[in-house]
């Protein structure tokens, strides 16, 4: 058995045990099944499926105090990192759908993990009830300032002329960057060979700045400082609109390539919330996300607030699931 599938087997065992533990959880006291007096004085747990300090965690900790003001109870941010978000998502979807457990959900991790049978996810898309989206962080393609690829077309043409010879960074198999490269190949034919840096963005940046990999693929929020320092040149943004942080950089669509690949970060609950509870949480999240001070702090972090309500967020989630499902065979084959 390969090391990859050994790790996946361990992950499956861990998340299965979490799911079984959740099945035995007693029905919550207080708050009521109908949700009329929700939340009362009972605290709400906000699960973050990633380690403290990252973008998902930071956004959740900015939102939590505003939720507390609106809902009149404590909102406790709890980190449950591991397995690319899968451990936290398992705990979230195994909780009682009473409103006292919600979670930060981000694509592609929450969308992709149930699509790969080898990961043994104990949840599906239907296990989540979207509440609202806070952030969109588009993928971007960058090169060095002195790169011969003067624009996106030059890079695409070069990759088509010599398939698999131009390398590009990702931060791991089945990450947003990995899917972005697969989508570029699907749409344009350009075969940029992924180099996976499993230790994360800092490792990928170091390899790029050291001229070991000529193309850097990351999120817009990851490269803003590098752009300001003139260490990187962005060729294209994979979104339906230009990034407000990179207003002079065209989208892929503007350059003639119909590629949209974004990280969408929002909040969800276990499916099956009572309607009054869902409405209270959705309203409180909208107010928190659109709070001027919260948005200012998000902007300072290079994160673009783009609120979507529960229905709009669910529609985006469904669209992304369709896209990733179509790309999964290519990504899985390349990752083996």
CATH number for the domain harbouring residue 160: 3.40.190.10
On whether both 14 and 109 belong to a single domain, the answer is yes
- Give the other-Cβ count within 10 Å of 81's Cβ: 16
On whether both 216 and 105 belong to a single domain, the answer is no
Q: Write the CB contacts of 159 (distance below 8 Å, at least 6 apart in sequence).
A: 165, 166, 188, 190, 191, 192
On whether both 190 and 329 belong to a single domain, the answer is no
| Both structure tokens of 173 | 């198999």
On whether both 112 and 189 belong to a single domain, the answer is no
SS3 call for 229: coil
For β-strands 128-143 and 304-309, DSSP reports them as: antiparallel
State residue 32 phi and psi, 5-degree precision: 70, 150
Q: What pLDDT was estimated at residue 198?
A: 83
On whether both 231 and 152 belong to a single domain, the answer is yes
d(CA 130, CA 227): 34
User: pLDDT tens digits, the chain, 336 residues: what are they?
Assistant: 444 433 444 444 444 444 444 444 444 444 444 567 999 999 999 999 998 988 899 999 999 999 999 999 999 999 999 988 999 999 999 999 999 999 999 989 999 999 999 999 999 999 999 999 999 999 999 999 999 999 999 999 999 999 999 999 999 889 999 999 999 999 999 999 999 998 888 899 999 999 999 999 999 998 999 999 999 999 999 999 999 999 999 999 999 999 999 999 999 999 999 999 999 999 999 999 999 999 999 999 999 999 999 999 999 999 999 999 999 998 887 654
**90 located within any domain:** yes
**253 located within any domain:** no
d(CA 252, CA 115): 26
| Last residue of one domain, picked from the residues 238, 271, 292 | 238
On whether both 121 and 268 belong to a single domain, the answer is yes
**35 located within any domain:** no
| Last residue of one domain, picked from the residues 238, 255, 282 | 238
Q: What pLDDT was estimated at residue 60?
A: 97
- Give the other-Cβ count within 10 Å of 34's Cβ: 11
On whether both 149 and 114 belong to a single domain, the answer is no
On whether both 124 and 7 belong to a single domain, the answer is yes
On whether both 284 and 331 belong to a single domain, the answer is yes
The domain containing residue 108 runs over which residues? 3-21+42-136+263-335
On whether both 57 and 192 belong to a single domain, the answer is no
**245 located within any domain:** no
On whether both 185 and 195 belong to a single domain, the answer is yes
On whether both 289 and 331 belong to a single domain, the answer is yes
Q: What pLDDT was estimated at residue 200?
A: 84
**130 located within any domain:** yes
Number of domains in the chain: 2
CATH number for the domain harbouring residue 279: 3.40.190.150
**248 located within any domain:** no
**318 located within any domain:** yes
């Amino acid at each position: 058995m390969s090391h990859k599938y050994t790790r996946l087997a361990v992950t499956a065992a861990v998340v299965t045990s979490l799911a079984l533990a959740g099945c035995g959880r007693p029905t919550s006291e207080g708050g009521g099944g109908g949700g009329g007096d929700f939340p009362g004085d009972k605290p709400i747990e906000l699960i973050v499926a990633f380690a403290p300090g990252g973008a998902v965690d930071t956004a959740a900790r900015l939102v939590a105090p505003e939720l507390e003001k609106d809902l009149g109870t404590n909102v406790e941010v709890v980190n449950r990192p591991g397995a690319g978000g899968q451990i936290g998502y398992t705990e979230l979807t195994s909780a009682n759908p009473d409103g006292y457990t919600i979670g930060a959900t981000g694509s592609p991790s929450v969308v992709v993990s149930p699509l790969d049978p080898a990961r043994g996810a104990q949840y599906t898309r239907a296990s989540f009830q979207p509440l609202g989206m806070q952030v969109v962080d588009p993928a971007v393609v960058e090169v060095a300032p002195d790169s011969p690829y003067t624009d996106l077309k030059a890079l695409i043409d070069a990759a088509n002329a010599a398939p698999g010879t131009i390398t590009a960074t990702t931060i791991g198999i089945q990450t947003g960057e990995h899917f972005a490269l697969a989508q570029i190949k699907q749409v344009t034919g350009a075969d940029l060979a992924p180099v996976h840096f499993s230790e994360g963005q800092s490792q990928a940046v170091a390899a790029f700045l050291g001229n070991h990999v000529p193309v850097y693929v990351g999120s817009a929020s990851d490269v803003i400082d590098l752009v300001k320092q003139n260490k990187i040149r962005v060729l294209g943004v994979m979104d339906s609109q230009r990034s407000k942080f990179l207003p002079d950089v065209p989208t892929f669509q503007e350059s003639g390539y119909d590629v949209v690949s974004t990280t969408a970060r929002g909040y969800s609950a276990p499916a099956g919330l009572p309607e009054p509870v869902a409405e209270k949480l959705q309203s409180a999240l909208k107010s928190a996300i659109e709070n001027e001070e919260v948005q200012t702090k998000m902007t300072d972090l290079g994160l673009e607030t783009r609120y979507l309500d529960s229905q709009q967020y669910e529609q985006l989630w469904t669209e992304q699931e369709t896209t990733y499902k179509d790309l999964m065979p290519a990504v899985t084959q390349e990752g083996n």
